[in-house]
Chain A
Amino acid sequence: EIVLTQSPATLSLSPGERATLSCRASQSVSSYLAWYQQKPGQAPRLLIYDASNRATGIPARFSGSGSGTDFTLTISSLEPEDFAVYYCQQRNNWPLTFGGGTKMEIK
């Protein structure tokens, strides 16, 4: 099973700042990594698929990069609605696995 490790566990930033979230895989997942956003009481929302492709309707301030074992989600300038929990997920191998999440909180 591929283990995805997200860091940091919690990220405290202010609106307008740049956010950089990391996801590291225990073995290569090629570019088959997605990022999701989840707000309290809501279902997750797909942000990025296959490492760097924005999903439909996702603002351009969200970008993804990486391949192999190291991936990054960048939010260029935080909006108030961006404070949430973010998960990465790989689709390279069965079982599909998620990272443990990064909680982005307002500083």
Chain B
Amino acid sequence: EVQLLESGGGLVQSGGSLRLSCAASGFTFSSYAMSWVRQSPGKGLEWVSFISASGITTYYADSVKGRFTISRDNSKNTLYLQLNSPRAEDTAVYYCARGAAVASRHLDSWGQGALVTVSS
């Protein structure tokens, strides 16, 4: 069974930093692209970042480019999102999600999410 478990969420001050982790199990992590998607309270879904299976290729939403960094450690089956200089508008539940095997930019498995609250 595919499992994605996010951790590292919590309260962070505006301008601080926080690292989210996503521990993957139940599949060959190194074979799949991964993404982070966030959802502000009561709002819709917003894609944040993508990383290829190898970790060589990354993409970011303009809203986080230059502030957030996606990375992965395939030896540890873990995905990361480093949040630097977060802003109040970055407050959201952050989901890690697996890219579908046949369409890596569609997301076929999701974690339960980690809440990040940015205080000013």
Contact = CB atoms under 8 A, between A and B. Distances in A.
Given A44-B110, A91-B106, A94-B59, A49 B47 contact: no
Give the size category of B's interface with A: 20 to 34
Nearest to A35: B106
A41 to B, nearest CB: 9
Interface stretch (A11-19, A72-80, A95-103): A95-103
B68 interface: no
Contacts of A95: 47, 59-62
Measured as residues with beta carbon below 8 angstroms from the partner, the interface class of chain A is 20 to 34
B35 A96 contact: yes
Interface in B72-101: 95, 100
B50 interface: yes
A62 interface: no
Interface of B: 35, 37, 44-47, 50, 59-62, 95, 100, 102-103, 105-113
8 contacts: A1-B62, A32-B105, A43-B111, A44-B107, A46-B100, A89-B107, A96-B35, A98-B44
